[in-house]
Amino acid sequence: MLYDDLFIRLERARWQLSEDIPFDAIDPSLVSEQWRSDLRHVCLTELSALYATEMFIRDFYADIDFCSFISVWFYEEMKHHLTLRMYLERLGETFEEQELPKLRLTFAPGPAIETLTMHFCGEQRLAHWYTAFSDNAPEPVIGKIFKILAADELRHAACYAKYMRKAAQNKPETVIDMLKMSLWMLRSTNEAPKHPTTLTTPSVVGQLEDAEYISRMLSWYLPGRDHEKPVQRRVLALMGELTGEKLESMRDLLRAIRRLEGTQTPAAA
Ligand SMILES: [Fe+2]
Ligand SMILES: [Fe+2]
């Protein structure tokens, strides 16, 4: 089981909420109303790990290895929610526990391979966003928090990649579904950013007071179209590995999909 090794690796990389975040050094005067509101939304979006976990455990019913890993992922994502909430509480913001169930969602069952791929791409993208939020943070402690969270999200992406490799090894015919979902996920814009929390109907972000907050933060901190290059590079690297060819652009990815479609469905053609 991949879980055994991932458990140890994630344990070694783990940071301590009570020791590694200098909550006493926070300077509330540096954090504008806009940042408070945006941080509040990021914090509530992290809570979506709760609904996603419910979905994973249901849709990966027979995959004990992956469900075991999800226990660690769930713990770490809820820790992100808690870290941001504790930061905001230090600024004097409050969260009503009774209000939180209103955000609760249940996702429709989905095909496991697509879900896995969507989350792999989503973690890569979130790491990219959090790095930008860290670089633009108005206050040093929240800058540090986003840097730490970005590293966690990247590690999560690496774990999802391991499960995708395992799936590809056990069922090579699933690779085409991974490629298709990756291409769809890579076709993302600041106006309609693709992440597991924005894609379902209804979506997690759609439940929030200000559903446009991600688009707005991206237009401020990651303007333009080319900023996604690092995300594309990392996704294409894994897809290239799975297909055994070098994929350097989304066009290459599309070509690989067409080629695989040609070899897998001659009857349909
Ligand atoms: Fe997270
Ligand atoms: Fe994550």
Owning domain of residue 68:
2-15+25-264
pTM exceeds 0.85:
yes
Ligand 1 midpoint to CA 85 (Å): 13
Q: Ligand 2 centre and the CA of 224: distance in Å?
A: 25
Residue type, 215: S
The verdict on residue 20 lying in a domain is no
What distance in Å separates the CA atoms of residue 134 and residue 147, rounded to the nearest whole number?
Answer: 6
| Segment 46-97, tens digit of pLDDT | 999 999 999 999 999 999 999 999 999 999 999 999 999 999 999 999 999 9
CATH number, domain containing residue 67: 1.10.620.20
Calculate how far, in angstroms, residue 97's C-alpha sits from the geometric centre of ligand 2.
Answer: 23
Instruction: Report if residue 170 sits inside a domain.
Output: yes
Tracing tokens 């790491």 back to the chain, one arrives at: 127
Number of domains in the chain: 1
User: What are the pLDDT digits (tens) for 186-238?
Assistant: 999 999 999 999 988 888 899 999 999 999 999 999 998 899 999 999 999 99
80 CA distance to ligand 1 middle (Å): 5
CA distance 151 to 213: 22
Q: Which ligand is nearest to the CA of 122?
A: 2
Kindly state whether residue 223 falls inside one of the protein's structural domains: yes
CA of residue 149 to ligand 1 center, whole Å: 6
Between the CA of 208 and the centroid of ligand 2 the distance, in Å, is 19
What is the whole-number distance in angstroms between the Cα of residue 88 and the centre of ligand 2?
A: 20
> Of the candidates 41, 134, 27, 135, which has an alpha carbon nearest to the alpha carbon of residue 84?
41
Nearest bound ligand to CA 73? 2
Residue 88, classed as helix, strand or coil, is helix
**C-alpha to C-alpha distance for 24 and 140, rounded to whole angstroms:** 12
Please report whether residue 269 resides in a domain: no
The answer to whether position 237 is within a domain reads yes
Determine what percent of the chain falls in helix, strand and coil, rounding each to the nearest 5. 75, 0, 25
CA of 47 to the centre of ligand 1 (A): 9
The reply to whether 92 falls in a domain is: yes
